[in-house]
Amino acid sequence: MDLPVIAPEAPKAGGCSAGSCGSTASQVDGMSDEIRARVQDHPCYSEDAHHYFARMHVAVAPACNIQCHYCNRKYDCANESRPGVVSEVLTPAQAVKKTLVVAATIPQMTVLGIAGPGDPLANPERTFETFRQLAEKAPDIKLCVSTNGLALPAHVEELAKHNIDHVTITINCVDPDVGAKIYPWIFWKNKRIHGREGAAILIEQQQKGLEMLVARGILVKVNSVLIPGVNDQHLKEVSKIVKAKGAFLHNVMPLIAEAEHGTFYGVMGQRSPKPAELKELQDACAGDMNMMRHCRQCRADAVGLLGEDRGDEFTLDKIEAMEIDYAAAMQVRAELRAQVTAELEAKRQKAHAPATQVIQFMPRAEAAKPAGRPVLMAVAAKGGLVAVHFGHAREFLVYEASAAGAKFVGHRKAEQYCAGDETCGDGESVLDKTIRALEGCEVVLCSKIGFEPWGNLETAGIQPNGEHAMEPIEEAVMAVWNEMLAAGKLDAKPAAAKCA
Amino acid sequence: MALEIIESCVNCWACAPLCPNQAIIPPAPREKRAGPPQAFLGPLGGERSDAAFSGGSHFLIDADKCTECVGDHADAQCVAICPIEGAILDELGVEMNPPGSLTGIPPERWAAAQAEIAAR
């Protein structure tokens, strides 16, 4: 029986718990085997896994207990992809049906998260009822939750009881004076508490919740929103503290602020950080702990691989009409997971192998040779391969290539400028935007690229490269870097240094 | 003495469980919105026969039950958690959370931003 509580078109709840998201291969490698085993099929916690495994969020939690300056509770738009935005709020029964349908349709969907559009723990009945039913009906799906942390200490026991293995806490500060510039109010013990006093309570509860989760062996990822001029330098301290308390991954995400969103920061003209600022801060924090850089800041009702939202295929109307055989689906899912896990393990072994094979004592002269500077390269990728046409790419993965290897450092969003021959009239400006988004990158790898964008990219100082189509990303990136090194291009600063 | 929720309500559900008098009535599911009020289905999807749904597209307050939380809490609970400025009025029609009081955005700044967006 269909028991919707809220009409699909009616809810306009926005929200604030930032979407969950993950780590680079090398960072996962830096983890213990036990933790690696727990995150290897979680796209939001493992950078490797996110090429192969998908996640979904069910929007069962409309209420929130705090206000963040980057969130607007009125916002709802199907075309925007950012945390807190959602098109339909679901009842637990609807959420369970949707999850089973998606799991049967997308067998690589391994993770179900509740992330809003408000705060999951400000809606404990709905959140835990959804988890309870899913644990029973879909035991092969990992459950996780993303919270602002205010109500966390009160619910740690219950999270543990429902076998929630992964929790994300959004921690933007550990100093109430910084917090007062991010959180205008919280609702606490039957009162609305404004400003510094409210922020102090929130911070205290977040830290207490983090400690309690770690004590129970639950994996904790910390999300932070980088807000230039508000908490940018402060986040280094946040990173140190959460690491010391046992969080295993820190995900620093850029503030999204546009006047159209109607948020405080958007309307007041607070700027978002540039990609280079984000990378600089992530690099600074990386000395202290595992940093995650592949987060796509997804919606509270996102479905599919990170960066590719398939929510439209699973609206309430559509899922009601779908019948599934979950037992059969579980079988398919188990086979697929085993196959991908084996592939990933093989890849990891291969990545480690050269260390034992290549250790040779080099002649002194050769060892002293300059190793070549690091180069940022953008990749139009799918499934871990250089597999997307430049004009079809909705996003580019950015790798930093150096003598130490290829390191994933982030991603840049792009609009598809080539949507077919009819739309090519206004392709120009979209191409310009894409080129701007690639600022700081010296090379862009893709499966194919048209003549015109090739020329424009070269003019902008970005070398297009279509020679490594369908090769694994890291191998292709290192092949290009080695060519540049051999050609003597890596001795000095880049020629067209618009750089990051 | 009663408060009123108006159409700017975004149906976030935050207020309903806090009301000490169960005076807050949820909106109807979309397909049941036409016609007379019926038994309301609770937040977990189970039937909750003690409340009729509001018949509209947003939450409402039953004026006969609302006490503005006097005797139960220092602050009216729906007013204290509502995230939407202007969505709750007192008996005189005064906005309990006036513009700028929750978001911190000065009303004139908001108006200027909207005008700028409209002009684009």
Domains in chain A, please, with CATH? Answer: 25-320 (3.20.20.70), 360-486 (3.30.420.130)
Better-predicted residue by pLDDT, A461 or A300: A461
| pLDDT band per the 50, 70, 90 thresholds, residue A9 | very low
B6 interface with A at CB cutoff 8 Å: no
B93 interface with A at CB cutoff 8 Å: no
CATH value at residue B22: 3.30.70.20
Q: Is B26 close to A5, i.e. CB distance below 8 A?
A: yes
Residues from chain B that touch A77, judged by Cβ atoms under 8 A, are none
Q: Is A4 close to B103, i.e. CB distance below 8 A?
A: no
Structure confidence at residue B42 (pLDDT): 45
Helices A275-286 & A234-245 angle (0-180, nearest 10): 40
Return left, alpha or beta for B66; rule: phi > 0 is left, psi -120 to 50 is alpha, else beta. beta
Q: Any idea how long chain A is? A: 500
- B110, closest residue in chain A (CA to CA): A267
Residues from chain A that touch B117, judged by Cβ atoms under 8 A, are 259-260
- Closest to B75 (Cβ–Cβ): which among A3, A93, A191? A191
A122 interface with B at CB cutoff 8 Å: yes
- Closest to A11 (Cβ–Cβ): which among B11, B104, B110? B11
Which of A178, A141, A189, A118 minimizes the C-alpha distance to A43?
A141
Structure confidence at residue A26 (pLDDT): 43
Q: What is the mean pLDDT of residues A226-249?
A: 94
A46-83 tens-digit pLDDT: 777 777 788 899 989 999 999 999 998 876 655 566 66
Q: Is B41 close to A5, i.e. CB distance below 8 A?
A: yes
Report the DSSP pairing between strands A191-194 and A219-226: unpaired
Query: Is it the case that residue B50 has pLDDT exceeding 50?
Result: no
CA distance B7 to chain A (A): 11
Q: Is B41 close to A268, i.e. CB distance below 8 A?
A: no
Cα–Cα distance measured from residue A444 to residue A317, given in angstroms and rounded to the nearest whole number = 41
Structure confidence at residue A84 (pLDDT): 62
Better-predicted residue by pLDDT, B70 or A297: B70
Q: Is A118 close to B12, i.e. CB distance below 8 A?
A: yes
Residue A16 CA: distances (Å) to CA of A170, A293, A373, B96: 9, 20, 40, 23
Q: Is A187 close to B13, i.e. CB distance below 8 A?
A: no
On whether the CB atoms of residues A284 and A229 are closer than 8 A, the answer is: no
| pLDDT band per the 50, 70, 90 thresholds, residue A150 | very high
- Quick one: tokens of A337? 């997971």
CA distance A328 to chain B (A): 28
* Cα angle: B5, vertex B54, A89; to 5 degrees: 85
Cα–Cα distance measured from residue A487 to residue A492, given in angstroms and rounded to the nearest whole number = 12
- Closest to A6 (Cβ–Cβ): which among B11, B105, B117? B11
Number of domains chain B is built from: 1
CA distance A3 to chain B (A): 5
Cα–Cα distance measured from residue A428 to residue A415, given in angstroms and rounded to the nearest whole number = 12
Torsion sign, CA atoms A232, A236, A242, A243? positive
Cα–Cα distance measured from residue A256 to residue A72, given in angstroms and rounded to the nearest whole number = 12
Mean of pLDDT over chain A:
83
Which amino acid is located at A268 in the chain?
A: M
Cα–Cα distance measured from residue A494 to residue A434, given in angstroms and rounded to the nearest whole number = 20
Q: Is A7 close to B42, i.e. CB distance below 8 A?
A: no
Q: Is A64 close to B12, i.e. CB distance below 8 A?
A: yes
A126 interface with B at CB cutoff 8 Å: yes
B119 interface with A at CB cutoff 8 Å: no
Q: Is B77 close to A190, i.e. CB distance below 8 A?
A: yes
* Minimum mean pLDDT range among A127-141, A165-179, A358-372: A358-372
CB contacts < 8 A, A to B, total 117
Which amino acid is located at A458 in the chain?
A: E
* Minimum mean pLDDT range among A3-17, A92-106, A332-346: A3-17
Query: Is it the case that residue A90 has pLDDT exceeding 50?
Result: yes
- B53, closest residue in chain A (CA to CA): A5
- Closest to B109 (Cβ–Cβ): which among A123, A125, A268? A268
* ipTM score for this prediction: 0.85
Structure confidence at residue A226 (pLDDT): 96
Q: Is A74 close to B84, i.e. CB distance below 8 A?
A: yes
Q: Is A6 close to B104, i.e. CB distance below 8 A?
A: no
CA distance A214 to chain B (A): 29
Q: What is the mean pLDDT of residues A257-284?
A: 92
CB atoms under 10 Å from CB of A189, counted, come to 6
Query: Is it the case that residue B60 has pLDDT exceeding 50?
Result: yes
CB atoms under 10 Å from CB of A190, counted, come to 15
Hey, which residues 154-193 in chain A have their CB within 8 Å of chain B? 184-185, 187, 190-192
Share of chain A above pLDDT 90, in %: 47
- Three-state SS string over chain A comes to CCCCCCCCCCCCCCCCCCCCCCCCHHHHHCCCHHHHHHHCCCCCCCCCHHHCCEEEECCCECCCCEECCCCCCCCCCCCCCCCCCCCCCCCHHHHHHHHHHHHHHCCCEEEEEECCECCHHHCHHHHHHHHHHHHHHCCCCEEEEEECCCCHHHHHHHHHHCCCCEEEEECCCCCHHHHCCCCCEEEECCEEEEHHHHHHHHHHHHHHHHHHHHHCCCEEEEEEEECCCCCCCHHHHHHHHHHHHCCCEEEEEECCCCHHHCCHHHHHCCCCCCHHHHHHHHHHHHCCCCEECCCCCCCCCCEECCCCCCHHHHCHHHHHCCCCCHHHHHHHHHHHHHHHHHHHHHHHHHHHHHHHHCCCCCCHHHHHCCCCCCEEEEECEECCEECCCHHHCCEEEEEEEECCEEEEEEEEECCCCCCCHHHHHHHHHHHHHHHHHCCCCCEEECCCCCHHHHHHHHHCCCEEECCCCCCEHHHHHHHHHHHHHHCCCCCCCCCCCCCC
CA distance B64 to chain A (A): 23
Structure confidence at residue A54 (pLDDT): 84
B72-84 tens-digit pLDDT: 999 999 999 999 9
Q: What is the mean pLDDT of residues A167-186?
A: 97
Q: Is A125 close to B43, i.e. CB distance below 8 A?
A: yes
- Quick one: tokens of A269? 């003209």
B113 interface with A at CB cutoff 8 Å: yes
Domain that holds residue B21: 4-119
H/E stretch holding B52: strand B47-52
Phi, psi at A486, each rounded to 5°:
-65, -35
Q: Is A190 close to B29, i.e. CB distance below 8 A?
A: no
- Quick one: tokens of B73? 């809490």
- Quick one: tokens of A26? 């090398």
B81 interface with A at CB cutoff 8 Å: yes
Q: Is B113 close to A8, i.e. CB distance below 8 A?
A: no
- A193, closest residue in chain B (CA to CA): B80
On whether the CB atoms of residues A209 and A156 are closer than 8 A, the answer is: yes
Q: Is B10 close to A6, i.e. CB distance below 8 A?
A: no
H/E stretch holding B111: helix B107-119
